[in-house]
């Protein structure tokens, strides 16, 4: 197990700043995901760590040792790619054994067999060792690729979108298996994905990237419930965050936010960073807007404009009296239908306030649930 640090690491390709002054510290045994949209610099970060790319600036350390000038084979890292390219003419056994056989001096055959058996056992593919890649499923092939990485017992595993060639169900199954595997082997893993659900479920911490810049590094709970800016709030989550533009004013030892006909009262001071009263944007997740029978504080009248039944939940869009449209979710048993009038309660503990010009979050809700 090893820790990894990036200190001011940058990489340009011509005019493109693929990675802009990255500072990141991955602790020993952590499962860290690099999450972001396509082109945000995730693979560049991984390739820099692996030594497949040279940094323009900055220092990369593994266990405190500066590895920035070292070639890939001196870094003691194993990488698993999206297209995990097994050798088709080799059996599963030979594929997994390959990195050991390539070693000089080559380990004794008995040791190779023992290590392949152990890794295959950990991955649950012990009965497939005699087969060829084309004779096993996609998920099993992915496990063989993992086995080929594990056999070297590296300091750090790097995985670049390893599940993206698998179908949706199998991805979820493999996600579960990867997490169990990490619990067992407890290696340091740096995992690239553009899939926020994958990052949320697998990681001890998530590094969110956009346009070559690290936006936030935190636990899944912090990333989901305390986003540092509008990009993170919107990128993470299976549905878009609702953003509403309006204005803030001090009121009754708290603040009020108004937008069209909507008026919300929050029991917190006007954030100083907002420069007092004035324009602001609030953001809240669909589940922070809840259908209610009640009336009173932070309840608004709305009309359901669209519904989507998604198995265990009903997702719906509603238009508030002032014209603002929001997305929300509820139990299908509520039986909401298009055109229906509905009252919505805005959960003040889950309302974040953003600076409209920069998107920086200047006030989080009090609750992390």
Nearer CB in complex with ligand ADP: 16/250: 16
Query: Toward Mg ion, which CB reaches closer, 192 or 266?
Result: 192
Q: Which string of x and - marks every residue 180-219 that binds Mg ion (by CB under 5 A)?
A: ----------------------------------------
Question: What is the separation of C-alpha 185 from the centre of its chain, rounded to a whole number of angstroms?
Answer: 22
Look up residue 68 and give its DSSP letter. T
Q: Is 210 in the site for ligand ADP (CB under 6 A)?
A: no
Shortest distance (Å) from residue 24 CB to Mg ion: 17
Burial 326-358, CB ≥16 within 10 A → b, else e = bbbbbeeeeebeeeeebbbbbbbbbbbbbbbee
Residue of 124, 117, 114 lying closest to 184 (CA atoms): 124
* Binding residue count for ligand ADP, defined by CB under 6 A: 11
Nearest distance, CB of residue 192 and ligand ADP, angstroms: 6
Q: Site for Mg ion (CB under 5 A): which residue of 2, 40, 43, 45? A: 43
Q: Site map for ligand ADP, 1-40, x if CB under 6 A?
A: ------------x--x-x-----------------x-xxx
How far apart, in whole angstroms, are the C-alpha atoms of residue 48 and residue 54? Answer: 6
How far is residue 227's CA from residue 225's CA, in Å, rounded to a whole number?
A: 6
Cβ 175 to ligand ADP shortest distance, Å: 19
Half-sphere exposure of residue 176, counting CA atoms within 13 Å on the CB side? 6
> Which of Mg ion, ligand ADP, none does 155 bind, CB closer than 5 to 8 A by kind?
none
Q: 19 or 274: whose CB is closer to ligand ADP?
A: 19
According to DSSP, residue 229 is labeled B
Q: What is the DSSP letter of 204?
A: S
Q: Which of 250, 247, 321 is nearest to 282 (CA)?
A: 247
Alpha-carbon distance of 192 to 190, in angstroms, equals 7
Nearer to ligand ADP, 16 or 321 (CB): 16
Residue 241 touches which member of Mg ion, ligand ADP, none, C-beta under 5-8 Å by kind: none
Distance CA 217, CA 140 (A): 32
According to the binding rule CB under 6 A, does residue 43 interact with ligand ADP?
Answer: yes
CA distances (Å), 113 to each of 89, 141, 175, 264, 268, in order?
Answer: 19, 19, 28, 67, 64
The pair phi, psi for residue 267, each rounded to 5°, is: -85, 60
CB of 259 to ligand ADP, least distance (A): 34
Position among 4, 10, 26, 42 found at the interface with ligand ADP (CB under 6 A):
42
For residue 281, what are its two tokens? 């944007």
The alpha carbons of the chain give a radius of gyration, in whole angstroms, of 25
- Residue 13 interacting entry, from Mg ion, ligand ADP, none, C-beta within 5 to 8 Å by type: ligand ADP
Cα 106 to Cα 368: distance, rounded to the nearest angstrom: 53
Q: Which of residues 44-103 bind ligand ADP (CB under 6 A)?
A: 44
- Residue 58 interaction partner, one of ligand ADP, Mg ion, none, beta carbon < 5-8 Å per kind: none
Please say which residue, 43 or 203, places its beta carbon nearer to Mg ion. Answer: 43
Q: What are phi and psi of 5, to 5 degrees?
A: -130, 140
Distance between CA atoms of residues 290 and 250, nearest Å = 25
Dig out the tokens for 346 from the structure: 């805005």
CB of 43 to ligand ADP, least distance (A): 3
Residue number, 13 or 87, with CB nearest to ligand ADP: 13
Q: Which is nearer to Mg ion, 100 or 178 (CB)?
A: 178
Complex with ligand ADP: residue 40 or 91, whichever CB lies closer: 40
CB of 168 to ligand ADP, least distance (A): 20
Residues that bind ligand ADP (CB under 6 A): 13, 16, 18, 36, 38-44
Interface residues toward Mg ion, by CB under 5 A: 43
């Amino acid at each position: 197990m090893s820790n990894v640090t990036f200190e001011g690491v940058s990489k340009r390709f011509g005019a493109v700043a693929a990675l802009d002054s990255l500072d990141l510290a991955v602790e020993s045994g952590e499962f860290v995901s690099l999450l972001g949209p396509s082109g945000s610099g995730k693979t560049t970060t991984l390739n820099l760590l692996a030594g497949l790319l040279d940094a323009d600036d900055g220092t990369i350390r593994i266990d405190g040792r500066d590895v920035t000038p070292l070639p890939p084979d001196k870094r003691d890292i194993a990488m698993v790619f999206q297209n995990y390219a097994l050798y088709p003419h080799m059996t599963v056994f030979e594929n997994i054994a390959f990195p050991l056989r390539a070693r000089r001096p080559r380990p004794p055959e008995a040791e190779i067999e023992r290590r392949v058996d152990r890794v295959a056992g950990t991955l649950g593919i012990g009965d497939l060792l005699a087969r060829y890649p084309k004779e096993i499923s996609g998920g099993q092939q992915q496990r063989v690729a993992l086995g080929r990485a594990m056999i070297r017992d590296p300091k750090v595993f790097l995985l670049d979108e390893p599940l993206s060639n698998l179908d949706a169900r199998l991805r979820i199954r493999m996600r579960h298996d990867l997490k169990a595997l990490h619990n067992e082997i407890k290696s340091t893993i740096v995992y690239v994905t553009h899939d926020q659900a994958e990052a949320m479920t697998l990681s001890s911490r998530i590094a969110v990237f956009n346009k070559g810049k690290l936006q936030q590094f935190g636990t899944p709970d912090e990333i989901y419930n305390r986003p540092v800016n509008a990009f993170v709030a919107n990128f993470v989550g299976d549905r878009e965050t609702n953003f509403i533009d309006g204005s803030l004013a001090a009121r009754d030892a708290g603040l009020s936010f108004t937008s069209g006909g909507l008026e919300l009262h929050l029991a917190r001071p006007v954030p100083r960073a907002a420069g007092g009263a004035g324009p602001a944007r609030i953001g809240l997740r669909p589940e922070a807007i809840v259908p209610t029978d009640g009336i009173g504080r932070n309840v608004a009248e709305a009309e359901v404009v669209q519904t989507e039944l998604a198995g265990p939940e009903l997702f719906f869009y509603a238009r508030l009296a002032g014209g603002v449209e929001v997305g929300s979710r509820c139990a299908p048993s509520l039986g909401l239908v298009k055109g229906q009038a509905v009252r919505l309660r805005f959960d003040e503990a889950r309302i974040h306030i953003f600076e409209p010009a920069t998107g920086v979050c200047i006030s989080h809700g009090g609750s992390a649930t």
